[in-house]
Amino acid sequence: MLDWTDPHYRYMARQITRHTWLYTEMVNAGAIVYGDPDRFLHRNECENPVALQLGGSEPELLAKASAKATEYGYDEINLNCGCPSPRVQKGAFGACLMNEVELVSNCLNAMQDAAPDCAVTIKHRIGLDKQTEYEPLAEFVGTLRDKTPCRTFIVHARNAWLDGLSPKENRDIPPLRYDYVYRLKNEFPDLEILINGGVKTNEEIAEHLHHVDGVMVGREAYHNPMIMQHWDSLFYGDTQPEITYEALVQRLYEYAQIQLAAGRGSILRHMVRHYLGIMHGLNGARVWRHILSDAEQLKPNRPELILEAWEHVARSLKD
């Protein structure tokens, strides 16, 4: 979710669902330690529960980044062992770490020691390249269970091909093996096992929850954010009214006003690029997307543009 789940997106998501855990985009631990931590760790106060996802393979560096993250109020720090991109592989982290379980153990232990009051978790694939056996996956998880305090495993139910496929192709071409993730939960009932990959509907989420402890939704929650509108009532038992489209638009307008007035370098385009899918499936959705992606209309940085785009949708809904 690089460049996707930034603070602007996470603010929007939190307005739609009060209880769902939010995850940052993957941040290189070195960027936090050697760069400007506020740039990478800034979050909105309303985001919790929220997890920081780190990329890295040096225990000491990951520990320093984890310690810094606790100062910013994150509830969870997640180690990414699932990203297959060549850029990440060059840094010797991401999915290729599944071949280095001892190193992963050292990383997780160092992170937990540095952030003792924060949950440290891992996200990984079911295997690498064209490996089809279940046993290496179980051995990877079992080793980490025995050698680290990590008890939450987020499993993308596809292999990561380190050669021959682009990151985009890695999200679609390797076949989904949900049964492997279900099997992990059966074999390791003491662990919290979350499933990820290809989930597009609330019905699919409900089905997975018969077999595992949780579901991570990525692309669908980005391109169709209002899929989250019913999550609090469906999966958390919350009886409060769900947010309406009109109320969400008003909150996003007010948020844009605050961000632009703060003068931290934010421009309207940085925010509204995350809003394009809000009206997915509604009459007027095309006009909404057109207005909020029009460079000329965005240039003046007028937050009122959000309200004007909504007016077009509202009229379409009445017609």
List the CATH number of the domain containing 264.
1.20.120
Same domain, 220 and 280: no
Helix (H) or strand (E) holding 151: none
- For residues 65 and 32, the answer to whether their CB atoms sit within 8 Å is yes
In this model, does residue 64 exceed pLDDT 60? yes
pLDDT score at 79? 98
Same domain, 221 and 304: no
Pick the range with the lowest mean pLDDT from 24-28, 132-136, 165-169, 182-186: 165-169
Is 219 annotated to bind a ligand? Reply is yes
Report the domain count for the chain. Answer: 2
Is 156 annotated to bind a ligand? Reply is yes
Same domain, 144 and 257: no
pLDDT score at 91? 56
Segment 213-250, tens digit of pLDDT: 999 999 999 999 999 999 999 999 999 999 999 999 99
In this model, does residue 306 exceed pLDDT 90? yes
Q: Mean of the per-residue pLDDT values for the chain?
A: 94
- For residues 184 and 137, the answer to whether their CB atoms sit within 8 Å is yes
pLDDT band at 127 (very low <50, low <70, confident <90, very high): very high
pLDDT score at 263? 78
Is 53 annotated to bind a ligand? Reply is yes
pTM check: above 0.75: yes
Same domain, 83 and 134: yes
Same domain, 229 and 269: no
Same domain, 69 and 194: yes
Same domain, 110 and 162: yes
Is 73 annotated to bind a ligand? Reply is no
Q: Is residue 172 part of a domain?
A: yes
pLDDT band at 161 (very low <50, low <70, confident <90, very high): confident
Beta-carbon contacts of 53 under 8 Å, excluding residues fewer than 6 positions away, are 23, 24, 25, 26, 27, 78, 79, 80, 123
Same domain, 263 and 204: no
Is 35 annotated to bind a ligand? Reply is no
In this model, does residue 298 exceed pLDDT 90? yes
Same domain, 172 and 98: yes
As a whole number of angstroms, the distance between CA 276 and CA 12 comes to 12
The residue segments making up the domain with residue 176 are 7-236
Q: Is residue 1 part of a domain?
A: no
In this model, does residue 118 exceed pLDDT 60? yes
Same domain, 217 and 272: no
Q: Is residue 2 part of a domain?
A: no
**Domain of residue 92, CATH code:** 3.20.20.70
pLDDT score at 319? 73
The mean pLDDT of 291-302, rounded to a whole number, is: 97
Active site amino acids: 83
As a whole number of angstroms, the distance between CA 76 and CA 49 comes to 8
Same domain, 278 and 184: no
Same domain, 230 and 251: no
